[in-house]
């Protein structure tokens, strides 16, 4: 994937598989703009990432690679149900080289909200559903009625 490090881009479709998904620390954490709170533990992080990847219609990478001493970065465009989404994933490795802390940014906001609601639906009936928005008719936290 060296070409992606230079910003040449690479349409991966859905063939890209992040190395870190199979190298999560047991106490890994995942936070995201589309999430409420922090998912904790390799099993929860893996489950969320696998379901999220199922929602992407493609991945056009502009960067995949290391940054700093213990960081890894993915930047790509995608779409979810035809809605464009830009994604930035940061992975921080622990001393053993395992993926320890992950953060995911989705934008624009309209796509982020759609993504969060779809993730809630995918995890309905499980504790992981609480990390995502339940439905469009419920106001967001902190919103005031007009």
Asked whether the beta carbons of 13 and 4 are under 8 A apart, the reply is no
Closest CA to 114 of 58, 55, 53: 55
Sheet holding 60-67, edge to edge: 10-11, 60-67, 71-80, 83-93, 99-107, 24-32, 39-40
Considering the entire predicted model, what is its pTM?
0.84
How confident is the model at residue 1, as a pLDDT?
38
> What per-residue confidence (pLDDT) applies to 36?
96
pLDDT at 146: 43
Cα 47 vs. chain centroid, distance in angstroms?
11
What's residue 14's pLDDT? 63
The pLDDT assigned to 16 comes to 85
Secondary structure percentages of the chain, helix, strand, coil, to 5:
30, 35, 35
Mean pLDDT by 10 residues, the chain (146 residues): 42 77 98 97 98 94 95 97 97 98 97 97 96 70 46
DSSP 114: H
In what helix (H) or strand (E) does residue 112 lie, and over which residues does it extend? helix 109-122
């Amino acid at each position: 994937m060296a070409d992606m490090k230079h910003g040449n881009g690479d349409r991966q479709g859905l063939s890209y598989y992040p190395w870190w998904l199979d190298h999560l620390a047991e106490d890994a954490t995942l936070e995201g703009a589309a999430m409420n709170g922090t998912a904790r533990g390799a099993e929860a992080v893996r489950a969320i990432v696998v379901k999220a990847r199922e929602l992407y219609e493609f991945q056009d990478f502009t960067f995949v690679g290391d940054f700093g001493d213990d960081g890894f970065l993915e930047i790509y465009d995608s779409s979810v149900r035809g809605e464009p989404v830009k994604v930035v994933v940061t992975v921080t490795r622990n001393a053993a080289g395992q993926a320890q802390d992950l953060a995911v940014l989705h934008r624009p906001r309209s796509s982020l909200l759609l993504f969060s609601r779809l993730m809630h639906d995918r995890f309905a009936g499980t504790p992981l559903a609480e990390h995502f928005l339940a439905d469009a008719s419920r106001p967001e936290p902190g919103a005031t009625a007009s």
